[in-house]
Amino acid sequence: MRSSLKLVAAGLAFVLSYAFSFPIVIPGGTEPMLLHKLLGRFLILLVIPLFFYVVEHAGPTLKRQIAAIYAITLPANAMVFYWCYFALNTYGEIDTVLTVLILLLMYSALSTFWVVFFLICRFLSRRGRVAPWLVAVAWTVNESVRGLFPVDFFWSVLGHSQYNNPVTLQWASIGSVYLISFMIVWLSAYVYTLIKKEHPVREGVVLTIVLAVLCIYSAVQLHIFRNEKPEKEVKVAIMQPAINQFDINQREVNVFNIIGSLTSQLNTFDDDSELVVWHEAAMPFRIPVGFTDFQYIMDKYFPDAKNFRNHIVGMDMVNNEFQSEYYNAAGFIQDGEIKKIYRKIKLAPFGEYLPWSEFLRSIGFRTLIPEMVGDFGRGKEHTVYDFGGFKASILICYDGTSAESVAEFVRNGAELLVNISNDAWFGASSETFQHGSFYRFRAVESGRTIIRAANVGISEVVLPNGEVEDSTEFFKAATINRKVPLYTGKTIYRMFGNWFLYSLIAVLCYFLLKALKREK
């Protein structure tokens, strides 16, 4: 009985440690819970030891061990990703029963990555104990696959727990969030071996040296940034109108209220603002592909608004030649003309495209965007536009989940990265805070300032060291009007991309092939 209670307690501790490692908001709340704020960055270190404890004590059979993995990871995933319910059911108007089934499928798919991780470690351990560093290799490679299969959902991975830790955050400039996840698992797996009274002394020395070198690197990076002068400054005007998703879904009825909200925000900005940033899909009507006369839109729909020379505006676009061809896009506007269009590259699964679309549509499934017949078209170009005094690129919502894609904008010459989002789809939930946390990593990786214009928040300025300034309140109308510093420094990650991840993949393949040969 006592051992069973210990197992249940360890499982519960795993669920809570994992869930509270990431921003978690009580539904209807407006800020993350206190436990996460105080301990989130440290709780993640308990996750791997608790995982192995539960699996090892679940029973001698593989079947019982896999069942235990699903038993602890399913509720953990549900706590972290509960906000998907709002997008599917509340705003997407999908039947409640079908929504629950979809979420169970999603949570089960995410749990399966834990099963695969365990099976890899189990296979490697057939000839003896697996070193903690190799456990970390297996985890990081396995975790990276989430960005590819079964859908592109690289969200709330272990490394993301360090978004508010300025020391570990700097490591992203070397090897993106993959390096941070690797170090979390290596350290926690090593501690677990000590708890089990195993003493891999040499590895402990190496781990200590690596941690010391990385911490010194972080200290040097932070010191350099504090003393670095920006190349230039740009005065930006960021809009956060806080328009409810119900009103957006019924925009044909609410168009004039939406226009009024946008107009009132435009009129608060200083006349010398150099760039006005509207949120994702800010235009309350679709823009035809090829249309360029933005001044016509301002004169007809925003006659009482101030005019500014430069804008970045989120807009849904439709190709009139092919009525089912839609794009989530944004325009670079200068002197009343849409000079260039950026089409979103990283589309949100189930919201903007359907994975396995032919099968899902055959059973009546559709994308969440109302009245959409087909998927959104996917952009291909990492667009940069030169406004004259500065070069900018746009990241639309889910674009910010991909480190390599964001780095490509900078390689193409972007000096300022502009994220536009509409997280109203997810209501007052954890999603907005989890989504916003990714941009600290993207800023550190790319060495660029990122400004965020989010419909319901959180809008903010993220500096290249991951520091956040001028964060707005969640679900409240707000604006930011200030000069932001632009930096042009280089980072290891920007220059060499996913070199660290590719190295880990090569190492894991080597050890798996070696283990296979031994089996034969």
Can you give the pLDDT at residue 354?
Answer: 61
Strands 326-334, 337-343: pairing is antiparallel
Least confident interval from 89-103, 105-119, 199-213, 492-506: 89-103
Average pLDDT over residues 109-131: 92
Least confident interval from 88-97, 163-172, 201-210: 88-97
Least confident interval from 42-56, 193-207, 402-416, 432-446: 193-207
Average pLDDT over residues 394-407: 93
Handedness of CA 486, 489, 495, 498 (dihedral sign): negative
In sequence order, the 6+-apart residues with CB closer than 8 A to the CB of 411 are 382, 494
Are 212 and 259 in the same domain? no
Residue 268 tokens, joined: 């608060």
Least confident interval from 13-27, 135-149, 175-189, 230-244: 135-149
Yes or no: say if 280 and 298 are a contact pair by the CB < 8 Å rule: no
Can you give the pLDDT at residue 198?
Answer: 84
Yes or no: say if 475 and 511 are a contact pair by the CB < 8 Å rule: no
pTM of the model: 0.93
3-state secondary structure of 317: strand
Number of domains in the chain: 2
Residue 450 is assigned to a structural domain of this protein:
yes
Distance between CA atoms of residues 409 and 395, nearest Å: 9
**Greatest extent of the chain over all pairs of C-alpha atoms, in Å:** 77
* Residue type at position 257: N
Binning pLDDT at 50, 70 and 90, where does residue 373 land? very low
Residue 29 is assigned to a structural domain of this protein:
yes
Binning pLDDT at 50, 70 and 90, where does residue 348 land? confident
Are 193 and 238 in the same domain? no
Q: Is the pLDDT of residue 363 over 60?
A: no
Can you give the pLDDT at residue 323?
Answer: 60
Residue 66 is assigned to a structural domain of this protein:
yes
- CA separation (Å) from 378 to 190, 347, 371, 442? 43, 7, 18, 21
Are 166 and 311 in the same domain? no
Which range marks the domain in which residue 472 is found? 232-489
Residue 497 is assigned to a structural domain of this protein:
no
Average pLDDT over residues 251-264: 92
Can you give the pLDDT at residue 371?
Answer: 43
CATH at 264 = 3.60.110.10
Helix pair 172-195, 403-411: axis angle to 10 deg: 150
Can you give the pLDDT at residue 269?
Answer: 98
Average pLDDT over residues 3-27: 95
Residue 408 is assigned to a structural domain of this protein:
yes
Residue 334 tokens, joined: 């200068």
Q: For residue 508, which of 109, 48, 117, 115 has the smallest C-alpha distance?
A: 117
Q: Is the pLDDT of residue 191 over 80?
A: yes
Average pLDDT over residues 261-284: 96
If one compares 184 and 326, the residue with the highest pLDDT of the two is 184
Are 131 and 267 in the same domain? no
Binning pLDDT at 50, 70 and 90, where does residue 90 land? confident
Yes or no: say if 412 and 62 are a contact pair by the CB < 8 Å rule: no
Are 34 and 168 in the same domain? yes
Are 270 and 238 in the same domain? yes
Percent of the chain with pLDDT over 90: 76
Least confident interval from 190-199, 367-376, 399-408: 367-376
Residue 254 is assigned to a structural domain of this protein:
yes
Are 49 and 81 in the same domain? yes
Residue 498 is assigned to a structural domain of this protein:
no
Are 478 and 370 in the same domain? yes
Are 254 and 196 in the same domain? no
Can you give the pLDDT at residue 304?
Answer: 96
What single-letter DSSP state applies at residue 15?
Answer: H
Binning pLDDT at 50, 70 and 90, where does residue 357 land? low
Residue 276 is assigned to a structural domain of this protein:
yes
Q: Is the pLDDT of residue 151 over 70?
A: no
Are 455 and 515 in the same domain? no
Can you give the pLDDT at residue 377?
Answer: 82
pLDDT in tens, 452-506: 999 998 999 999 999 999 999 999 999 999 999 999 999 999 999 999 999 999 9
Can you give the pLDDT at residue 333?
Answer: 98
Least confident interval from 10-24, 200-214, 260-274, 308-322: 308-322
Are 223 and 253 in the same domain? no
Are 45 and 182 in the same domain? yes
How many CB atoms are located within 10 Å of the residue 464 CB? Answer: 24
Can you give the pLDDT at residue 374?
Answer: 46
Q: Is the pLDDT of residue 255 over 70?
A: yes
Q: For residue 304, which of 253, 268, 252, 336 has the smallest C-alpha distance?
A: 268
Long-range contacts, 191-195 (Cβ 8 Å, 24+): 191/45, 191/49, 192/48, 192/49, 192/52, 192/53, 192/132, 193/129, 193/132, 195/49
